[in-house]
A and B are shown apart, each in its own frame.
With several copies, the nearest count.
Chain A
Amino acid sequence: MDIKNIKKEFPIFKQKINGKSLVYLDSANSSQKPQVVIDKISNFYETEFSNVGRSVHTLAVKATNRFEASRDKVQKYLNAKHREEIIFTKGATEAINLVASSFGKKYVNNGDEILITELEHHSNYVPWHYLRLEKGAIIKFAQVNKDGDVEIEEIKKLITKKTKIIAITHISNVTGAILPIEKIIELAKEKNIPVLIDGTQGAPHSLIDMQKIDCDFYAISCHKMYGPNGLGILYMKKKWVDALPPYQGGGGMINEVKQQEITFADNHTKFEAGTMQTAEVVSFAESLNFIEELGITNIAKHENETLEYGLEKLRMNNSIKIIGSPKSRGSVLCFTLKDIHPHDIATILDEDGVAIRAGHHCCQILHEKLGMAATARASIGVYNDKEDMDKLSEAIKNCQKVFKN
């Protein structure tokens, strides 16, 4: 496989959109899937499907082995110390809800503080808001600076004796800022405060080494990593796996169930209630194989070059305003266009086969701060290249023509 030719691994690019080749620039929303991943799903359902962990017949054994092999694969990929640190969830949103609920139940009390940032996606704010409603917790927002970054000093300033957890995004899905998570984690460790990283945008674009990052929780959405829908991963440090109470209740997560009392599993399975997403878990191993074959650092390099090229192109157009100029930028490029609303941009670009997203990208706090209800966002995946950036730039010009601007 070669990154230059990688589009052909993704069947979605075979079709024409409005007669044009598809320029897919919405990967921060969800990435497209390579054929190997799609085939793995079919193949699993066709030849090995069964419920896992519960039966002893041949199909159940095959499915269980595949399922647990996938956990091993994720553990290795993330370089987590223990396989029990890998918990499968419905998505990053559920992963964060799980932590907010379980951690909150046990450790957060009236007046305790939760430190997040103005950059956070609703998925890393609403779950904590529930602790505000239920426990009287206080949510503090680290401010974003004019470049779209959150600086370490800003975090430092807000930490108090009452800070119970810090929950921050790895990469902003709007400004593209790569946050200084290592430094924040170091700082938090000095004060003995656990850190949750919303890695939804981080994991698809950077080398993730849990033992190096050394955070307490890291949330991932598999569908943004060339993987299937409906699956997420929560990395949870072993000590929290041991300490936190279970989340949802149901089959598979119990130890003993009696009429007056229930005891729970003492490992990661206490967080995995009910029938799991077997086919999704199994096929996600293929997504990781795909990423590994290309190399995540090669992917990141290719995406960066593409992004930088695109930024340069767009900067040449005086009507375009790029949102944020962070010190280092992930694969996201938000912009606005003079006198043309982002929705109109998105619709008009689509006519040229260019798929971008318009809106607040689930970051209303940040958009409020920016003084904009909506922005247009082009986000990059491994399959994008400079030609895509040229087409984006041309499509924006066409858009201006439609509006006669």
Chain B
Amino acid sequence: MDLKELYQEIILDHGKNPRNKGKCKDFTNDAKAHNPLCGDKVHIYLKLNKEKQIEDLSFEGEGCAISLASASILTELVKGKDLSFIKKITEEFLNMLKNKTKITINSITPDQMTTITSLSGVQEFPMRVKCATMAWHTLLSALEKK
């Protein structure tokens, strides 16, 4: 296990200065989640347009660096994207943490790839996987709601 892998610069940065925090305007969907064992919370707001793209999204949350960074990275990655991209990236992300597979989706920039894989260090810390995945599960719930 390597702490440096877990707490990479990118993660510390997103943890300290999470992007897209707050409640975005005119959101159409939202969902929240809460881990009763540790008290972490996340609430995701998003605005779906007619083309089924996420026009805007944001989150509110309390939690550790991993959970905040993960939510923040998530919002950056999926903003402006359509449902099929979101399903695919989420699936790959969850798989990366659970089964240590790689991200293969090719419609993201190298920078984005670096950012999302910065969270792969969580693999080695099973009790922290939930911190990293909560926002992603919550995004899926938000999309399911109407």
Stretch of B21-29, B32-40, B75-83, B133-141 with 4 or more beta carbons under 8 angstroms from chain A: B32-40
Cross-chain contact A343 with B1 (CB below 8 angstroms):
no
Known A-B contacts A343-B131, A344-B64; A358 and B1 likewise in contact (beta carbons under 8 Å): no
Which B residues, 12 to 70, have Cβ-Cβ distances below 8 Å to chain A?
A: 12, 16, 34, 36-41, 62-66
A398's nearest neighbour on chain B, judged by CB, is B3
- Minimum Cβ distance to chain A for residue B64 (Å): 4
Please classify how large the interface on chain A is, using the bins under 10, 10 to 19, 20 to 34, 35 or more: 20 to 34
Which A residues, 57 to 97, have Cβ-Cβ distances below 8 Å to chain B?
A: 60-61, 64-65
* CB of A347 within 8 Å of the partner chain: yes
* CB of B6 within 8 Å of the partner chain: yes
- Minimum Cβ distance to chain B for residue A276 (Å): 14
Main SS of the interface on chain B? mixed
* CB of A129 within 8 Å of the partner chain: no
* CB of B88 within 8 Å of the partner chain: no
Q: Which residues of A contact B128 (CB under 8 A)?
A: 56, 343, 347
Cross-chain contact A256 with B36 (CB below 8 angstroms):
yes
Task: Tell me, in angstroms, the Cα distance from A404 to B128 when the chains sit together.
Answer: 21
Cross-chain contact B12 with A359 (CB below 8 angstroms):
no
Q: What string of 1s and 0s marks CB contacts (under 8 Å) between A352-367 and chain B?
A: 0000001110001001
A58's nearest neighbour on chain B, judged by CB, is B1
- Minimum Cβ distance to chain A for residue B43 (Å): 14
Task: Tell which of B36, B38, B126 touches A61, judged by Cβ atoms closer than 8 Å.
Answer: B126
Cross-chain contact B62 with A373 (CB below 8 angstroms):
yes
* CB of B85 within 8 Å of the partner chain: no
Q: What string of 1s and 0s marks CB contacts (under 8 Å) between B120-131 and chain A?
A: 000001111001
Cross-chain contact B3 with A402 (CB below 8 angstroms):
yes
Task: Tell me, in angstroms, the Cα distance from A325 to B66 when the chains sit together.
Answer: 31
Q: Which residues of B contact A61 (CB under 8 A)?
A: 125-127
* CB of A255 within 8 Å of the partner chain: yes
* CB of A54 within 8 Å of the partner chain: yes
- Minimum Cβ distance to chain A for residue B120 (Å): 16
Task: Tell which of A53, A351, A403 touches B1, judged by Cβ atoms closer than 8 Å.
Answer: A351
Main SS of the interface on chain A? mixed
Cross-chain contact A255 with B34 (CB below 8 angstroms):
yes
Task: Tell me, in angstroms, the Cα distance from A53 to B125 when the chains sit together.
Answer: 14
Cross-chain contact B1 with A65 (CB below 8 angstroms):
no
Cross-chain contact A359 with B37 (CB below 8 angstroms):
yes
Q: Which residues of A contact B125 (CB under 8 A)?
A: 56, 61, 347
- Minimum Cβ distance to chain B for residue A126 (Å): 12
Cross-chain contact A64 with B127 (CB below 8 angstroms):
yes
Task: Tell which of B6, B12, B36 touches A255, judged by Cβ atoms closer than 8 Å.
Answer: B36
Known A-B contacts A18-B1, A343-B128, A344-B65; A367 and B39 likewise in contact (beta carbons under 8 Å): yes
Q: Which residues of A contact B41 (CB under 8 A)?
A: 373
Cross-chain contact B127 with A60 (CB below 8 angstroms):
yes
Task: Tell which of B12, B34, B63, B126 touches A343, judged by Cβ atoms closer than 8 Å.
Answer: B63
Task: Tell me, in angstroms, the Cα distance from A254 to B39 when the chains sit together.
Answer: 12
Task: Tell me, in angstroms, the Cα distance from A358 to B66 when the chains sit together.
Answer: 14
Chain A interfacial positions (CB closer than 8 Å to B):
18, 53-56, 60-61, 64-65, 252, 254-256, 265, 339-344, 347-348, 351, 358-360, 364, 367, 373-374, 402-404
Q: Told that A61-B125, A339-B16 touch, could you supply 12 new A-B pairs with CB distance under 8 A?
A: A18-B1, A54-B37, A60-B127, A61-B127, A64-B127, A340-B65, A341-B63, A347-B125, A347-B128, A348-B3, A360-B39, A373-B38
Chain B interfacial positions (CB closer than 8 Å to A):
1, 3, 6-7, 12, 16, 34, 36-41, 62-66, 125-128, 131
Name 27 interchain pairs, CB-CB below 8 A, sorted by A.
Answer: A54-B37, A60-B127, A65-B126, A252-B37, A255-B34, A256-B34, A265-B36, A339-B16, A340-B65, A343-B38, A343-B64, A343-B66, A343-B128, A343-B131, A344-B7, A344-B64, A347-B6, A347-B127, A351-B1, A359-B39, A364-B39, A374-B39, A374-B40, A402-B3, A403-B7, A403-B65, A404-B12
